Amino acid sequence: MKQKSLRNDLKFDDNLFFRKLEKAFLKQCHYFGYQEIKTSTIEPLHIFTSLGTLSDDKLKRMYSFIDWDGWSGERVVLKPDSATCVARFYSDHLYDLNPKQKLCYVENHFEWADSREVLSERWQCGIENIGNKNTKADIEVIYMAHKVLQEIGFKKTHLYLSYPAYIKALIDMFHTEEQQKKELEDAIKNTDSARIKAICNTDEEKVILENSVLADASVGLLKNLKTLLKGGQFRKVHSLLDNFIRLCELLDKLKCPYKIDFSRLGDLKYYTGIWFQFRSRPTKKPDRDILCAGGRYDNLIADMIRLLRGKKQDAMTVPPVPAVGFAFYVRNILNERHISAPAGALSNNLQNISIYISNISEKNVETGQWLSDELLRLGFAPRITFSKIKREKYESFGLVIEVDHESFDDGYQILFSQKIGKPLLMNLFGGFNGR
């Protein structure tokens, strides 16, 4: 049983929904000018260990081995993460050509599993907007994720926003000891009021953190927080809050609902700005409720460029490269897709359509293919066949169409229909004689 849990096979229905997700995702990428790339499945180990992009737990779960037959004999891994690989791809191929890039990917990742809850292979669809530090880039990626989830049928999702850079700036202002910082981070993540107060050194810190972390945050609260942060020492924190306020106000204009929760810190070392999660339920855990996650990371790519260029003369002069992105958790979405089916949605049988080419000719096949394309665009699952469908099999389809321009004035006839009639098809597509 444990062996079975490591597999991540996509069955027929899984693949159909995966293609629906992929289509909606790539459509949004096309709208906003993202170009699709594929990164290597096998990557050097050091690009993950040297930059600290993965947690200790994830590092332990990598599939790592020596490339004995390779030219270098170095230790390599099966790709455990895409953001790091995209940063490597960008450094290798794009940075010197144009620092501003919009990249998207559909890839699988690998991670050693030691329990039934963990799969060894995962699929992700993701984007990285590189070289743009404007708040509008943050808005763009959040809006794209929101629209994709809506298009594939998730009418109700829960978007949580946080700003780890703001919390980190506050912690760094009030504390210098690393142990205290770690304890405070842990208390904030768990919204442990007693521990937060016990660790705070001053009443000022208690008031600020209580208002930031323990309150039900809103744009109004963010503005009120600025009035608590008096003095020049809070200049950086003011700047971060101003940025977050602008972002929230733009999301309001886009009618993209969200909840602010500063206790959701993500990785404080990795995220330098906004952090967000779309979840299927209003919870912090478990991870299986995550539909999409992302944020801003402005240090990774410059660090990657410096790492790969080593001691070259220009390596240390690489300026910061801003970036923001997200990734869809495909398996979680597949597992949750039942909640996305709207009321009255067509059953699988009604979606399946058979297009029978009774008289094989180039014109008839082209008509069948065109009809298949149009029905597929509408969300059906059409199949062309040269073999006659037995009458007793009709009810396994929503619609059975026979195509033959020589026999029918319109180029086709409907042999069987559960709910989809010829008048509807004629209204949608017109006659087929001219095709």
The per-residue pLDDT for range 313-363, each reduced to its tens digit, is 555 678 889 999 999 999 999 998 765 444 444 456 667 899 999 999 999
348-429 placed in CATH 3.30.70 = no
Report which DSSP code applies to 317: G
Phi then psi dihedrals of residue 175, to 5 deg: -135, 145
pLDDT tens digit sequence for 241-289? 999 999 999 999 999 999 999 888 877 578 889 999 999 999 888 888 9
Residues 77 and 42 sit within 8 Å (Cβ to Cβ) = yes
Q: Could you tell me the strand order of the sheet in which 75-78 lies?
A: 42-44, 75-78, 64-66
Domain boundaries, the chain: 2-340, 348-429
User: How many CB atoms neighbour CB 33 within 10 A?
Assistant: 10
* More confident call, 219 vs 338: 219
What pLDDT shows up at residue 221? 83
What is the pLDDT confidence band of residue 120, given thresholds at 50, 70 and 90? confident
pLDDT recorded at residue 345: 43
Q: How far apart are CA 226 and CA 224, in angstroms?
A: 5
8 A C-beta contact, residue 368 and residue 408: no
* pLDDT number for residue 350: 66
pLDDT, tens digit (0-9, with 9 covering 90-100), for 286-311: 888 999 999 999 989 999 998 888 75
Residue range 101-114: mean pLDDT, rounded: 88
The pTM score is 0.83
Task: Give the pLDDT of residue 249.
Answer: 93
pLDDT at 340: 47
Q: How far apart are CA 266 and CA 163, in angstroms?
A: 9
Instruction: Please give the DSSP secondary-structure letter assigned to residue 341.
Output: P
pLDDT bracket for residue 111 (50, 70, 90): confident
Single-letter amino acid code for the residue at 403: V
- Element holding 385 (H helix, E strand): strand 381-385
* Residue 206, pLDDT score: 87
pLDDT digits (tens, 9 = 90+) for 59-86: 778 888 887 766 567 889 999 889 999 9
pLDDT of residue 292: 97
Query: Residue 406 — very low, low, confident or very high, per pLDDT cuts 50/70/90?
Result: very high
Model confidence band, residue 229 (pLDDT cutoffs 50, 70, 90): confident
Q: Measure the CA–CA gap between 154 and 94, rounded to whole angstroms.
A: 35
The residue type of 427 is N
Summarised one tens digit per residue, pLDDT across range 121-156 is 888 999 999 999 999 999 999 999 999 999 999 989
Whether the pLDDT of residue 426 is over 70: the answer is no
pLDDT confidence of residue 315:
52
DSSP conformational letter for 69: T
Q: What pLDDT, on the 0 to 100 scale, is given for residue 346?
A: 44
pLDDT at 348: 60
Please identify, in words, the CATH class of the domain defined by 2-340.
alpha beta
Q: What contacts 213, CB < 8 A, 6 or more positions away?
A: 167, 188, 191, 196, 262, 263
DSSP element (H, E) containing 417: strand 412-417
Quick one: pLDDT at residue 121? Answer: 84
Give the per-residue pLDDT at 94.
96
Predicted pLDDT of residue 134: 93
In the predicted structure, residue 10 carries a pLDDT above the cut 90:
no
Strands (E), 10-120: 35-36, 42-44, 64-66, 75-78, 101-110
Residue-wise burial string across 235-264, b where 16 or more C-beta atoms lie within 10 A, e elsewhere: ebbbebbebbbbbbebbeeeebebebbbbb
What is the DSSP secondary structure assignment for residue 18, as one 8-state letter?
A: H
More confident residue, 213 or 335: 335
